[in-house]
Amino acid sequence: MARPVVTIVGRPNVGKSTLFNRIAGKRISITEDTPGVTRDRIYAEGEWLDKYFTLIDTGGIETNNTDTIFAQMRIQAEIAIELADVVLFMVDGKEGVTAADTEVAQLLRKSKKEIILVCNKIDKFVNTNNVFEFYNLGLGEPIAVSSTEALGLGDLLDEVISKFDKDSNTEEDSDRIKIAVIGKPNAGKSSIINKIIGQDRVIVSEIPGTTRDAIDTEFERGGQKYTIIDTAGIRRKSRISETVEKYSVIRAFTAVERADVCVLVIDADKGITEQDIRIAGYAHDNYKGMVIVVNKWDLIEKDDKTFKKFNDDIRNQFAYMTYAPILTTSALTGQRVNKIIETVNEVYSFRNLRVSTGVLNDILIEAVLMNQPRTVKGKKLKIFYGTQVSVNPPKFVIFVNDNTIVHFSYQRYLENKIREAFEFMGTPIEMEFRNRSEK
């Protein structure tokens, strides 16, 4: 069976994201005293007593709010409830039962899911009388916690794992391909993800910056497991004014660091921008796999030279990243969206390719014979041997007589020779030059 899913729901500003971060063990959801900050479903891996589960944070449910964003947040929360094996219904123990709590409770009763009522903000456990009021919601005994102070979480998690189906898969996953979808705001990242996974798991809106958090969505295709991360659109620093949006930019860069492969989404209608180049550069500097997706291709007037022109422009603007494959897609029509995962799989396989030491040294010997390294400060570089020390990303260590005279152009030359033999499509190659005396 699939891994158990635990969803946290409740009205806005009762502490859902703080609890989510506590259980996940890190600050994943953005926590601000502003209703509506968590807009999408945020995913993380939770673990308690060697039992692993998928944890989902949701935007606050406001049943009577007709605002477009809040309406979509409610739909997202309802989908998260449908996905859940266990629902944590969080209420504010200091404020007491509200009309909104009663409405959410009615929604949850209809779901027929395992519900745990979590009474938050009982900070010192001295005024527990507040908890008893929540019996009126008809959802059983409330569990008193303080997500801020991390009080009562052990009892809560004991109750959570007790409700898992005995046949659930609670083992740790280690074979997932992690994909970060990156790009500037409104390039179509969320729409592409929704097409890939086949359902609306990410809010799609024409309002730039709708996706504020880095959102993990797990899915499986052809026996391979994936975690796809939709990131907040990364804007220029001069345009970032809200504190929340500053957090989102940091979260997007963190998503890049977590990923195996990044999918850079470029808006074909607007073309390549300086910000696209900056985002790609960050992924390249972190040795992440890269697939460049030119979205909204259906909006472009085309002739027999259109693709070549766009391709040449990308290669020129991303000169440091010639290894990255380029796809043209339309999330609106679904054109070639299916090629994205196929290409990600190829890139991932190259990231895990290992070259034997014997073959690598044959390549190095031939490269040196064809192009001798130049003399620097009266000293000539000597290459003794090389070996691949790791994968994902592939890293090669080359032993030389003096690593201070390795010119970047010769390093690039050796990298190109390795790529001629093994391609390493879509992935940077990390090369380190060490003096032979170094271990």
Q: Say whether both 316 and 387 belong to one domain.
A: no
Same domain? For 41 and 130 the reply is yes
- CATH code for the domain in which residue 400 is found: 3.30.300.20
- Is there a domain that residue 170 lies in? no
Give yes or no for a cis peptide into 393 (omega within 30° of 0).
yes
Range among 111-125, 195-209, 311-325 with highest mean pLDDT value: 311-325
Rounded Cα–Cα distance for residues 19 and 145 (Å): 9
Query: What's the pLDDT tens digit per position in 77-113?
Result: 676 677 788 999 999 988 888 888 888 888 888 888 8
C-beta of residue 17 within 8 angstroms of C-beta of residue 26: no
Q: How many residues does the chain have?
A: 439
Q: What is the CATH number of the domain that holds 291?
A: 3.40.50.300
Q: Residue 261 pLDDT > 80, yes or no?
A: yes
Region of 91 (left: φ > 0; alpha: ψ -120 to 50; beta: rest) is beta
Sheet holding 395-400, edge to edge: 383-390, 395-400, 430-435
pLDDT surpasses 80 at 30: no
Check whether residue 139 and residue 195 sit in a common domain.
no
Alpha-carbon distance of 126 to 34, in angstroms, equals 28
Q: Are 228 and 43 in contact (CB under 8 A)?
A: no
pLDDT of residue 209: 41
Q: Domain for residue 172, yes or no?
A: no
pLDDT computed for residue 351 by the predictor = 96
How much is the pLDDT for 148? 87
Q: In this structure, is residue 167 part of a structural domain?
A: no
Two tokens at 41?
Answer: 């479903």
Q: Which of 120, 138, 162 is the last residue of a domain?
A: 162
49 Cβ contact list (under 8 Å, min separation 6): 157, 158, 161
Per mean pLDDT, which range of 3-7, 250-254, 287-291, 346-350 is the poorest? 250-254
Residue 342 neighbours by CB under 8 Å, 6+ apart = none
For the segment 357-369, the average pLDDT, to the nearest whole number, is: 96
CA distance linking residue 184 with residue 214, whole number of Å: 14
Structure tokens, 151: 């009080």
C-alpha–C-alpha distance, residues 276 and 335, integer Å: 22
Per-residue burial over 385-402, b if 16 or more Cβ lie within 10 Å, else e, is ebebeeebbbbbbbbbee
Domain end point (choices 351, 376, 397): 351
Count of domains for the chain: 3
**404 falls within a domain:** yes
Percent of the chain clearing pLDDT 70 (strictly above): 78
pLDDT digits (tens, 9 = 90+) for 138-148: 888 999 999 88
Question: DSSP assignment of 274-343, as one string?
Answer: HHHHHHHHHHHHTT-EEEEEEE-GGGS---TTHHHHHHHHHHHHTGGGTTS-EEE-BTTTTBTTHHHHHH
- Whole-angstrom CA distances from 102 to 132, 196, 303 are 15, 36, 59
Please give the Cα distance from 223 to 149 (Å, whole number). 41
Report pLDDT for 179. 93
Round to whole Å and give the CA distance between 76 and 61.
9
pLDDT(38) > 70: no
Q: Report the distance separating Cα 332 and Cα 73, nearest Å.
A: 22
Higher-confidence position of 200 and 106: 106
Mark which of 98, 132, 162 sits at the end of a domain. 162
Same domain, 117 and 230: no
pLDDT, tens digit (0-9, with 9 covering 90-100), for 299-351: 888 888 888 999 999 999 999 999 999 999 999 898 999 999 999 999 999 99
Q: What is the residue range of 43's domain?
A: 5-162
* In-domain check, residue 57: yes
